[in-house]
Structure 1
Amino acid sequence: MDAWAPRPGVVLQWLVRSDAEPVPSTVPPSFNQSAHLADVDDGSTWLAASFDVPGRLDTDALERSLERLVARHGSLRTGFVRSDAGPSRVDHPQGALTLRRRPDVAVQSVPEAHRVVRAALDTACAPFSAPAYTFLAIDRPDVSTVVCGFDHAHVDAYSLAVVIDDVRRGYLGEPETAPDPGDFVDYCAAESAGTPIDLADDRLRTWVDFLRAGDGAPPQFPLDLGVPHGRTDRCAVRVDALLTAREADTAETGCRADGASLYAGVLAAMAHAVRDLGGGATVPLLFPLHTRRSAAWRSSVGWFVTNAPLEVVTESDLRATIRSTGPAVRRAVALGEVPIARVVEAAGGLRRPRKDVFMVSYVDYRSAPGHDSLRSIDAHHISNVTVSDDAQFWISRTADGLALRSRFPDNPTARTTIEAFVAAVADHLALVAQPCEAALRFAVDTRTAADATVTVP
Structure 2
Amino acid sequence: MDFLQILDAPIQPGGLVEWIPAVPGGLGSWSRDVRETSHNHEEHLRSAFEYRALTHREGGRESWLGLAIEFDEPMSVPSVRSALVAYINRHEVLRTHVVLKADRDARYRTERYTTEPDTVRVKMARIGWYTETPLLLEQIAGSFDRATAPLHWPAYRFATVARPDSFTLFFAADHSLVDGYSLVNAHHELSELYRAAREGRPPALEPTGSYLDFSDAQRRAADVADPEHRAVRTWAEFVARFGGRLPPNPLLTPGRAGPAEEGTGPVQLARTRLLLDDAGATRFEAFCAASGASPVGGILGAMAVAFRETSGADDFAVIMPRHTRTDRSWLHSLGWFVGLAPLVIDVSDDPTPAEASRRSTAELSASRHGSELPFLRVADLIGVTGSPHTVVSYMDTRGAPRAQAADDGAARVLRSHSYADDEVYVWVNRTPGGLRMHARYPAETAGDVPVFLDRFADLLARTAEAG
Shorter-chain TM-score above 0.5 = yes
For residue 66 of structure 1, report the CA deviation from its aligned partner. 0.8
Q: Who is 1:228 aligned against?
A: 256
Q: 1:215 to 1:106 in 2, by over 3 A?
A: same
Partners of 1:39 and 1:159 in 2: CA distance: 23
Contact 2:7 2:138 in 1 (8 A): no
Kindly provide the amino acid, as one letter, of the partner of residue 453 in structure 2. V
Q: 1:176 to 1:366 in 2, by over 3 A?
A: farther
Q: 1:44 to 1:82 in 2, by over 3 A?
A: farther
Q: 1:427 to 1:103 in 2, by over 3 A?
A: closer
User: Deviations 1:13-35 (Å, cap 9, x if unpaired)?
Assistant: 11101124233322232111112
Q: Which SS does the other structure have where 1:65 is aligned?
A: helix
Counterpart pick for 1:78 among 66, 87, 96:
96
Counterpart pick for 1:117 among 140, 143, 148:
140
Q: Who is 2:370 aligned against?
A: 335
Partners of 2:332 and 2:124 in 1: CA distance: 27
For residue 229 of structure 1, report the CA deviation from its aligned partner. 9.0
Partners of 1:313 and 1:356 in 2: CA distance: 19
For residue 340 of structure 1, report the CA deviation from its aligned partner. 2.8
Q: Which SS does the other structure have where 1:260 is aligned?
A: coil
Contact 1:125 1:151 in 2 (8 A): yes
Q: Who is 2:180 aligned against?
A: 157
User: Deviations 1:375-423 (Å, cap 9, x if unpaired)?
Assistant: 3453111111120122111111111111111111112x51x52221111
Q: Who is 1:218 aligned against?
A: 246
Q: Who is 1:322 aligned against?
A: 357
Please state if 1:248 is matched with 2:253: no
Contact 1:5 1:111 in 2 (8 A): no
For residue 200 of structure 1, report the CA deviation from its aligned partner. 3.3
Partners of 2:11 and 2:186 in 1: CA distance: 19
Counterpart pick for 1:179 among 197, 206, 209:
206
Q: Which SS does the other structure have where 1:367 is aligned?
A: coil
Percentage of pairs with the same residue: 26
For residue 60 of structure 1, report the CA deviation from its aligned partner. 0.7
Q: Who is 2:407 aligned against?
A: 375
User: Structure 1 regions of 5+ residues with no counterpart?
Assistant: 437-457
Trace 1:331-410 onto structure 2 (pairs within 5 A): 331-347=366-382, 349-352=383-386, 357-389=389-421, 390-410=423-443
Trace 1:15-164 onto structure 2 (pairs within 5 A): 15-20=20-25, 21-40=29-48, 41=51, 43-84=61-102, 85-164=108-187
Q: Which SS does the other structure have where 2:94 is aligned?
A: helix
For residue 202 of structure 1, report the CA deviation from its aligned partner. 4.5
Partners of 1:403 and 1:286 in 2: CA distance: 19
Contact 1:37 1:87 in 2 (8 A): no
Count how many residue pairs are aligned between Structure 1 and Structure 2.
431
Partners of 1:52 and 1:22 in 2: CA distance: 34
User: Deviations 1:183-227 (Å, cap 9, x if unpaired)?
Assistant: 000000101121634433454323212122223322332312454
For residue 177 of structure 1, report the CA deviation from its aligned partner. 5.0
Q: Who is 1:200 aligned against?
A: 228
Kindly provide the amino acid, as one letter, of the partner of residue 351 in structure 1. T
For residue 90 of structure 1, report the CA deviation from its aligned partner. 2.1
User: Deviations 1:85-109 (Å, cap 9, x if unpaired)?
Assistant: 3554321222221111113422222
Partners of 1:318 and 1:376 in 2: CA distance: 31
Q: Which SS does the other structure have where 1:306 is aligned?
A: strand
Q: Who is 2:216 aligned against?
A: 189
Partners of 2:36 and 2:8 in 1: CA distance: 36
Q: Who is 2:55 aligned against?
A: none
Please state if 1:13 is matched with 2:18: yes
Q: Who is 2:9 aligned against?
A: 4
Contact 2:246 2:388 in 1 (8 A): no
Kindly provide the amino acid, as one letter, of the partner of residue 281 in structure 1. D
Q: Who is 1:421 aligned against?
A: 452
Partners of 2:230 and 2:97 in 1: CA distance: 37
Contact 1:220 1:285 in 2 (8 A): no
Kindly provide the amino acid, as one letter, of the partner of residue 384 in structure 2. L
User: Structure 2 regions of 5+ residues with no counterpart?
Assistant: 1-5, 52-59, 103-107
Q: 1:214 to 1:178 in 2, by over 3 A?
A: farther
Contact 1:391 1:407 in 2 (8 A): yes
Partners of 2:372 and 2:270 in 1: CA distance: 30
Please state if 1:302 is matched with 2:338: no
TM-score, normalising length from structure 1? Answer: 0.88
User: Deviations 1:285-318 (Å, cap 9, x if unpaired)?
Assistant: 1100001121111111000000111011125322
User: Deviations 1:234-284 (Å, cap 9, x if unpaired)?
Assistant: 111111221111111111121122222111111111111111113412111
Q: Which SS does the other structure have where 1:333 is aligned?
A: helix
TM-score, normalising length from structure 2? Answer: 0.87
Q: Which SS does the other structure have where 2:37 is aligned?
A: coil
Kindly provide the amino acid, as one letter, of the partner of residue 46 in structure 2. A
Partners of 1:363 and 1:381 in 2: CA distance: 13
Partners of 2:111 and 2:338 in 1: CA distance: 20
Partners of 2:136 and 2:229 in 1: CA distance: 54
Trace 1:435-454 onto structure 2 (pairs within 5 A): 436=467
Q: Which SS does the other structure have where 1:43 is aligned?
A: coil
Q: 1:281 to 1:302 in 2, by over 3 A?
A: same
Contact 1:222 1:279 in 2 (8 A): no
Q: Which SS does the other structure have where 1:429 is aligned?
A: helix
